[in-house]
Each structure stands twice: as structure tokens, then as C-alpha cells.
Structure 1
Amino acid sequence: MDNKVISKSGIDPKKQYSEYLIIAYLTYMSLYIIFNSAIDYFYESASIYRIGNYVGLILAVGTLVPLVRKVPTDFLIEPLKVNKAKIWNAITRGFLVCAFFGGLMILLKFAILQLNPIMLKRCQPFFYLDRLTPGKITTNTMLYPFTAFWQEYCMNVMGYDGMRTLLVGNHRKHKSVSVVALFFGAMHYTYGFPMIALTILFVLFMNYIYRRTKNLWVCMLVHIILGQLLFTLQLQKITFSF
């Protein structure tokens, strides 16, 4: 006998909540793109980097408020619970992905410097560690842990889990993560195509960790490490110049 709970309206609550998650996810991504496009139009492009996290912070709160009014709290916080039996496995996988993806980014910059250094003319020195020193650290960097947490929640819980539930069945997981990756890549379009490609690949790696570990905190930690490595390598400044 099917024990699945159905609401009075005849709709599966989990599916109904997933619809709200998807709406919130698409709203956040769409508004972020619109706001950053407006900022890029009215100001210098460098302003995007300086205030992008502030835009994300405002929009995150703006989309979260109506979401918590529609979706039960336990449904929203379930992905935040730590599975103690899998925590070591999650950390191990997170470390391996950090090492692998971080190594790819370092190799990418090294290869471009050897083959076409003009693409990285704005990306000197190789490791821009000064950006992390007390005198030069920015509020964007300080806000980054929140940004990493919210984006992981958006991508994997609101986007991936919500979409997979609506599409019905675990066999739809690859379609779900593909759509999420494309939206997240579009969110970084102001940085140019190389950054879009990097972020799409990044989402695929992060979703792998989430699917294998169901640990959002490890995803957030990996996001912080790799995100700061990307900005330290200044790969967001890659331009096509042949």
C-alpha cells in the first residue's frame, strides 16, 4: 500500500514544496543577472566584482523570506543536518575534489601563460596573495563564506533537488544538474565566456560531492577554498586575445 502523504488539494507536499524551491531559485538567479547587468551598464565593469556579493546578499534575503512562508522549516533545514556516519567520507571526497579541481585551475593558468600569455595580461602575478593580506582584504572576501553557503544551497537544494523531484525519479538527476549548471554559468556572464565555462564545470563537480555525501557543509567549505583560489589566480580576468 502506498503510504505517501497527499495534501487536501491532492498534491504531494514534497512536489509542491519543490515547486516553491524552483521558483525561488529561478527568481534569485534571474534577478542577480538583471541587477548585475544594470550595474555593468551604468558603471565600470570592475564594479561588478566590488559589489557583486552585496547584490547576492540582498537578493538571497529577498528570495528566502517568501520561501520560508511557503515551505515548512524542517523541509528547508533537512539538507543542513550532518550525517555523522558519512562525515569522514564527505570530508575525504571534498579534499579530493579540492585537490583535483584546484590543480586543474593552476594547470590552466600555467598552460595559458605558456601558449597565449596575452589572455592573462591582467592576471599577474601567478598567485595574487596580497588580496588576502589584512590591509587589502575586501568586504567581498569577508562575505564570501555566506555567498558560498547560499549558492550551494541554491544550486543543490533549491535547484537540483527541487528540479529532480518535479521531473520525477532519480534517473532525471543528470538533466537536473545540467539545467542548474547552465543557470549558474549564466549568472557569471559579465566576466566573459571563460568564467562561464569554469563555473559550469565547477557546478558539476560540486553536485557530485552533494549527491555522494548529502553534506551541504562540505560543499560550502570546498566552494570557499576553490572560489578563493580562483580569485587568487585571477582566472576571472581571462580574456580571449589571439
Structure 2
Amino acid sequence: MNAVTTANATQNAKKEIRENGFSVIEGIYDDSEIQQLLSAIENVDTSGETFRKSANLFAIRQFLKEIPETLPLIFTDKLKHIIKEICGESCFVVKSIFFDKPGESNWFVAYHQDLTISVAKRIETENFGPWTVKQGQFAVQPPLDILEDIFTIRIHLDEANENNGALKVIEKSHSKGIYRPETIDWQKEKEITCNVPKGGIMLMKPLLLHSSGRTTNNARRRVIHIEFSNKKLPGNLQWSEKTVIPC
């Protein structure tokens, strides 16, 4: 994808995210770039508490902190252009996770919104709550304006389709505030499967209702999930993974 094509795709994505809550852009990483990323991931020590291993899922929380050598591999000129256009000059990373869903996985995730942020420590703050802790990481639900500001990029290191757990989303649900899955009106809402080719990215708003199904074709699905914001948290609250995007 050349510079002109990337610019056009980014403008289309910006409009789709605003209207529908998500967009897919193909061809951001080539096979060589993906292999470099996978090599860096495969060589890491997985004994720490930020690593989760099971038959159905392998995950690395605080991914960019755990494997900082992936930063220049992820933040290519193409991706930095997309981030700048969609989030602005001042945005930074606030969360990063690597997911590996093996081919034999039966992992299923029901419809939900991403309603929490990761913070460095628990500090009781007005309008922030409830709190949770996962693998030593504090998470809290912030006020709606902070959630509305965040956007997510999912980098696909394998093809994702309806047969190996590609995300399903409820179009436009990101604009409806806190939307409880049990209240979904299937007579009115539109479900879309977000197929993403290897090397492509999916951009989405965390308030978009989304789910993923079980793998039925024994195809692996590896994804790097990165969230961005440009908001400073109130008081002494600090983003736990705040990372400046490399120049």
C-alpha cells in the first residue's frame, strides 16, 4: 500500500469509525514485517505474571512493556500516519495485549463493551469504579467521556474470518453509551463479522459491542491489541502503560 492509498484508506476509516464504530484497513504489514514481530514474541520469557497460558488462549498483558523491541516493528510509517489522522498528534498508548488463539481453541467471548482502563495503582477517585485486579494489573471503569476518547487498533498477524473467531460487532452501538448486552434488541440491531486479512488492522471504539466465536477451521489467530488516548487522568491516577509513540 503506497502513501496515497494509505491516506485514502485512512480518510475512509475515519468516517467509518465515526459513523459505525469500526473500520478495517488491509495491507498495513507485509509478510516480512509480520515474521519479525512473531520472532520477537516467540523469543520472550513467558514466566512472568503478565503472561497467560492455557489450551485455549495465550495472552501477554502489558505487551509493549514486556517486549519493547516490537515498538519500531509495530509503529511503521503507515501505522503512525493512521494514528495521527484518527487520534491526533498528542495521543499515546494506554494499553497493549497480545492474543494467540490456537487452531484447536474453543475460546468464546460473548457480546460486551470494553469498559475499563488500566492504571498504575488504585486511588479512589470520584466517578471511577468499580475496580478489578487481573494478574497484578489494576483496572477501573472511568467516566464515559474517557471511554469515548479511546480508540483501539487490532493488528492481525493471521487472517481472521467467520471460521476462526473473527470479531462480530453491533454496528453503531459505540454511540449509545453504556449498552448492556442483555438489552440488545435483535429486531433493530445489525451484527457484522469483521473479516481481517493477515497484515491488516481493525480500528474500533471500545464502546462498540463486540464478541468472538469459537474456531471451526483449526486456523490460528494472533492479534496485537493496542489502545490509544490523549486524555490526562484526574488527580493522582496514572495510566499504567502510558507509552509515547516512537518518532
TM-score normalised over the length of structure 2: 0.29
Name the TM-score, length of structure 1 as normaliser: 0.29
Higher alpha-carbon Rg = 1
Q: Which structure dedicates a bigger proportion of its chain to strand?
A: 2
